[in-house]
């Protein structure tokens, strides 16, 4: 009688475990989770609407991206860039809020899964203890203790049922733990995505403030006079040409022997693209198909622009990509940031503007210039495709774009130069002329 009672208690435990198994997937916080799901859906709709508005506006101002030849036109271009950034900021803010809601939802689901796991473990432990007590008694002893064979068989059936429940519970527990691990991984991924979005938001705000500052400085420098603006354009062009000649003179004195065997074999994929949505075709063709593509505005070497007198007839030392102000720029290969700088601090509107130089393990170095913002520091380790900054039109640039240069590492160095053109110190990369490589050989 005592033994039968123990089995009945065991079956009760088994039923409790079964109830816990059946409750999996029905969160304790269902109402709260559903509320979060509705809020996420609402954010998705809001983001879609804002993205459509931003895309429409971006398309409308695409023709005003180049530096205007009049003061009013340039002010309109800057105002358009500021307005575009405002729209992009609104989109990113909503994306941040959506990601925060998703993380909260996952947190509640993880909490619920964890509680269900504890319930299963408790029920399973009780059943295992009951089975353990029963197994201590031999089959013969159990048979002798029962007055009737039917009672013995009933207890035997109960034991088999209980064992089946245990196996079912173990399977459910394993499934639950696997789901829990998956949700924890998802939560970590969403935290990383949230951090990325928060960095994007911070970068967009910094760039917007930079554009506002540029506008104020332009008005201050020109006193809102068209004649002064034309004088400013002429001065910028003269400084660019003179500084370019000055730097070329320094580079011609650098003598380095480049061993071709020390460089990676030429071929597609040695380096990754420094921008999203890149097309290697010329913009004149590409933009007819997709106005948002970051296409090539100027190739390496003796380009048509170089042929009409640019670069003092020495050819273009990199690849220019069309890229709207605030477009994310990525490291094209893992490596270490050699240095960052801003030539506008020493000679405004005459050279690279904000720039980043990265040294890669494959004996190549890459340079990214005319940036609107930099998000890395010298000495920082970078992975391939890590964001390092945002495109812009600092330095000498007639429109927003990314200038991308590839060097043989042994031939490039960062120097502090006292420019004769501007009379101030400036820091920038200089290289032996034979260390400039065609980026298309490695992209």
As a whole number, mean pLDDT of residues 72-79 equals 90
Q: At what angle do helices 149-222 and 71-135 cross, to 10 degrees?
A: 170
Structural tokens at position 219: 């008005």
Would the pLDDT of 385 be above 90? Answer: yes
CA–CA distance, 121 with 141 (Å, rounded to integer): 31
Judged by DSSP in three states, 146 sits in coil
Annotation: CATH topology of 254-441: Glucose Permease (Domain IIA) (2.70.70)
Structural tokens at position 115: 């509680």
- Sorted by where each begins, the domain ranges of the chain are 2-208, 254-441
Taking residue 440's Cβ as centre, other Cβ atoms within 10 Å add up to 15
CA–CA distance, 313 with 77 (Å, rounded to integer): 31
pLDDT at 32: 84
Residue pair 179/113 in contact by the 8 Å Cβ criterion: yes
Per-residue confidence band for 283, with pLDDT thresholds at 50, 70 and 90: confident
As a whole number, mean pLDDT of residues 30-54 equals 86
The pLDDT tens digits of the residues spanning 141-167 come to 554 555 555 554 455 555 666 667 667
CA–CA distance, 21 with 352 (Å, rounded to integer): 64
Work out the burial of residue 86: count CB atoms within 10 Å of its CB; fewer than 13 is exposed, 13-18 middle, 19 or more buried. middle
Q: Are strands 387-391 and 328-330 parallel, antiparallel or unpaired?
A: antiparallel
CA–CA distance, 321 with 312 (Å, rounded to integer): 21
The pLDDT tens digits of the residues spanning 327-365 come to 999 999 999 999 999 999 999 888 999 999 999 999 999
* 7, 175, 186, 333, 442 from 272: Cα distances, Å: 67, 40, 27, 6, 8
């Amino acid at each position: 009688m005592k033994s039968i009672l123990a089995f009945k208690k065991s079956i009760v435990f088994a039923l409790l475990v079964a109830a816990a198994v059946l409750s999996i997937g029905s969160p304790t916080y269902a109402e709260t989770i559903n509320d979060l799901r509705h809020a996420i859906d609402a954010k998705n709709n809001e983001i879609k609407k804002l993205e459509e508005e931003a895309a429409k506006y971006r398309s409308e101002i695409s023709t005003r991206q180049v530096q205007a030849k009049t003061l009013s036109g340039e002010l309109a271009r800057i105002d358009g860039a500021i307005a575009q950034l405002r729209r992009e900021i609104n989109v990113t803010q909503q994306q941040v809020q959506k990601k925060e809601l998703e993380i909260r939802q996952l947190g509640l689901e993880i909490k619920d899964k964890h509680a269900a796991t504890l319930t299963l473990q408790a029920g399973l432990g009780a059943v295992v203890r009951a089975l353990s007590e029963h197994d201590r008694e031999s089959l013969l002893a159990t048979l002798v203790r029962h007055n009737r064979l039917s009672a013995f068989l009933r207890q035997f059936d109960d034991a088999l049922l209980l064992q089946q429940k245990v196996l079912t519970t173990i399977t459910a527990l394993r499934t639950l733990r696997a789901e829990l691990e998956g949700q924890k991984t998802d939560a970590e991924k969403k935290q990383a995505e949230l951090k990325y979005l928060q960095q994007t938001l911070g970068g967009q705000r910094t760039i917007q403030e930079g554009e506002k500052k540029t506008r104020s400085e332009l008005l201050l420098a020109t006193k809102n006079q068209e004649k002064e603006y034309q004088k400013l354009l002429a001065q910028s062009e003269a400084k660019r040409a003179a500084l370019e000649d000055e730097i070329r003179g320094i580079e011609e004195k650098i003598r380095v022997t480049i061993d071709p065997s020390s460089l990676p074999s030429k071929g597609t994929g040695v380096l990754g693209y420094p921008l999203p949505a890149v097309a290697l075709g010329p913009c004149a063709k590409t933009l007819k198909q997709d106005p948002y593509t970051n296409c090539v505005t100027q190739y390496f070497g003796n380009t048509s622009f170089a042929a009409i007198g640019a670069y003092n007839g020495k050819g273009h030392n990199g690849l220019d990509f069309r890229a709207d102000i605030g477009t994310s720029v990525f490291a094209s290969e893992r490596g270490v940031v050699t240095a960052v700088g801003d030539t506008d601090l020493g000679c405004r509107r005459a050279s690279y503007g904000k720039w980043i130089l990265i040294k890669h393990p494959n004996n190549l170095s890459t340079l990214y210039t005319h940036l609107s913002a930099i998000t890395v520091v010298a000495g920082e380790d970078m992975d391939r495709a890590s964001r390092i900054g945002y495109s812009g039109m600092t330095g000498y640039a007639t429109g927003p774009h990314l200038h991308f240069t590839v060097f043989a590492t042994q031939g490039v160095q960062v120097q502090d130069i006292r420019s004769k053109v501007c009379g101030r110190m400036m820091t920038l990369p200089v290289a032996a002329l034979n260390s400039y490589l065609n980026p298309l050989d490695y992209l």
